[in-house]
């Protein structure tokens, strides 16, 4: 089976141990990615999440309700073949990281940013042995080369599946350091997502929100929390 099917045709979804990991099967037949590779994932825990998405489908298949399957497809069909390019795109965030750029004012917003972001910078300084440069305003302030080298090395160690999840953590939060803090379990994904939203929540408190912005923010939050859940499943023996 290749690509997305429009209607459910299977009765039973199962997970099978194979040479390279765990395959998802529909009535005993292995699922294929859109590029016609076998949908095989590294751990049973992640395979169970993917399998549950297939079980949950009704007569009409809804790809938007299958984020783990989409992540697996991306890891196999896209990321695996361009690891260096994806890693480079992600690590570019490190030189202009969200948590290093503070508002020029007002004082209350600066206090909220410091409360949310300084613990992340303290964690990073302890982990990498170098403190990131913090500035106020939008003028670029280069980070120490030794810190950027350490960040690149951490990202370069990720597997294709890990990198796929990690990409979403970075893209949704706008912060390489927040994403690294998630996978290092410095704090909960929920708390770290909230840290990424300090500026936006301040603006909402001042000027209000609208339905479109709220829906966009909720979608980004779901993607961030899903990425964290999938990443941890890749490190679970369950």
Please check whether residue 69 is in contact with residue 53, taking contact to mean a CB–CB distance below 8 angstroms.
yes
Query: Over the stretch 161-208, which tens digit does the pLDDT of each residue have?
Result: 999 999 999 999 999 999 999 999 999 999 999 999 999 999 999 988
As a three-state string, the secondary structure of the chain is CCCCCCECCCCCEEEEEECCEEEEEECCEECECCCCCECEECCHHHHHHHHHHHHCCCCECCHHHCHHHHHHHHHHHCHHHCHHHHHHHHHHHHHHCHHHEECCCCHHHHHHHHHHHHHHHHHHHHHHCCCCCCEECCCCCCCCHHHHHHHHHHHHCCCHHHHHHHHHHHHHHCCHHHHHHHHCCCCCHHHHHHHHCHHHHHHHHHHCCCHHHHHHHHHHHHHHHHHHHHHHHCCCCC
When the pLDDT of each residue in the chain is averaged and rounded to a whole number, the result is 94
CATH superfamily of 13-77: ATP12-like (3.30.2180.10)
In the chain the first and final C-alpha atoms are separated, in Å, by 27
Query: For 83-233, which CATH superfamily applies?
Result: ATP12 ATPase (1.10.3580.10)
Other beta carbons within 10 Å of 124: 27
Whether the per-residue pLDDT at 213 is higher than 90: the answer is no
Q: Which residues contact 64 (CB under 8 A, 6 or more apart)?
A: none
Domain boundaries, the chain: 13-77, 83-233
Number of C-beta neighbours around residue 227 at 10 A: 26
The pTM assigned to this predicted structure is: 0.93
Q: For position 2, what pLDDT does the model report?
A: 46
Whether the ω angle into residue 196 lies within 30 degrees of 0, i.e. cis, is no
Cα–Cα distance measured from residue 139 to residue 76, given in angstroms and rounded to the nearest whole number: 38
Q: Give dist(CA 164, CA 227) in Å, integer.
A: 8
Residue 238, pLDDT score: 60
Q: What is the pLDDT of residues 38-61, one digit of tens each?
A: 999 999 999 999 999 999 998 888
């Amino acid at each position: 089976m290749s690509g997305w099917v429009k209607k459910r045709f299977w009765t039973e979804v199962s997970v099978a141990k194979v040479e390279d990991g765990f395959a998802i099967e529909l009535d005993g037949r292995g699922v294929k990615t859109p590029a016609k590779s076998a949908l095989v994932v590294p751990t049973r825990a992640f395979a169970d999440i993917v399998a549950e998405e297939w079980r949950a489908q009704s007569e009409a298949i809804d790809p938007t309700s299958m984020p783990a399957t989409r992540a697996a497809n991306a890891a196999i069909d896209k990321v695996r073949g361009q690891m260096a390019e994806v890693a480079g795109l992600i690590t570019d965030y490190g030189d202009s990281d969200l948590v290093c750029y503070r508002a020029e004012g007002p004082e209350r917003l600066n206090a909220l940013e410091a409360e949310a972001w300084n613990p992340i910078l303290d964690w990073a300084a302890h982990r990498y042995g170098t403190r990131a440069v913090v500035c106020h305003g939008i003028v670029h302030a280069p980070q120490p080369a030794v810190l950027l080298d350490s960040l690149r090395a951490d990202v370069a160690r990720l597997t294709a599946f890990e990198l796929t999840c990690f990409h979403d953590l970075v893209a949704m939060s706008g912060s390489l350091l927040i994403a690294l803090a998630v996978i290092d379990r410095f704090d909960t994904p929920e708390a770290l997502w909230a840290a990424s939203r300090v500026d936006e929540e301040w603006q909402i408190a001042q000027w209000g929100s609208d339905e479109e912005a709220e829906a966009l923010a909720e979608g980004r939050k779901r993607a961030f929390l899903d990425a964290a859940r999938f990443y941890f499943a890749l490190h679970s023996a369950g």
